[in-house]
Structure 1
């Protein structure tokens, strides 16, 4: 069994060449929101949810993006309301948020 039930990776890549990157969409701030909310809900830690920063996940053009393992479900989001929905529906209830899935 995995140490974490869910492992969430937020792309926080920043590019200097003009191409879209997740950090241009505030990915680090949204990741911080997710981390705080998961902790407040008591979902973090061993057997629970781990929120992590990732370098480029090579899908910034579809971004901002995050991926949740072990399911390997990729999501995009606009704001913290979308992140709250992913936390509530995917991480708490175990259902995929189809409208945000890439």
Structure 2
């Protein structure tokens, strides 16, 4: 299977592995299992999900980035917002409500 899209989820990890920062404190690491389950439920294949260190948009976090589109999303506050991001991938249009 080839990777058509890659979703990076800011989890604010620092070099020593300590969770810090806005995204982690607001629970972004908990988005990872939901993303994986929702991708499976929607039969969306070819999408990889990766936790990242700080994406340096702390004032607008939790943050996610979708590649290859280079769509940067912020203020992702839960499952409804994640659904909107996944809808954007399915529709081929960015989710304007969360776009940075």
Gaps of 5+ in 1: none
Q: Secondary structure at the match of 1:100?
A: coil
Are residue 56 (structure 1) and residue 57 (structure 2) matched? no
Structure 2: 5+ residue stretches without partners: 13-18
Q: Which residue of structure 2 lines up, in the alignment, with residue 40 of structure 1?
A: 41
Secondary structure of the structure 1 residue equivalent to 2:97 = helix
SS of match in other structure, 1:71: coil
Deviation at 1:31, TM superposition (A): 2.1
Aligned residue pair count = 92
RMSD between aligned residues? 1.2
Q: TM-score, normalised by structure 2?
A: 0.84
Shift of 1:43: 1.1
Q: After the TM superposition, which segments of 4 or more aligned residues of structure 1 sit over 3 Å from their partners?
A: none
Q: Could you say which residue in structure 1 is the equivalent of 2:6? A: 7
**Structure 1 residue 83, shift from structure 2 partner:** 0.4
- Cα deviation code 1:26-67 (max 9, x no counterpart): 1011122111101221213xxx21111111111122100000
Q: What TM-score, normalized by structure 1, do the two folds share?
A: 0.82
Cα distance in structure 1, aligned partners of 2:11 and 2:34:
14
Choose from 67, 73, 96 the match for 1:75.
73
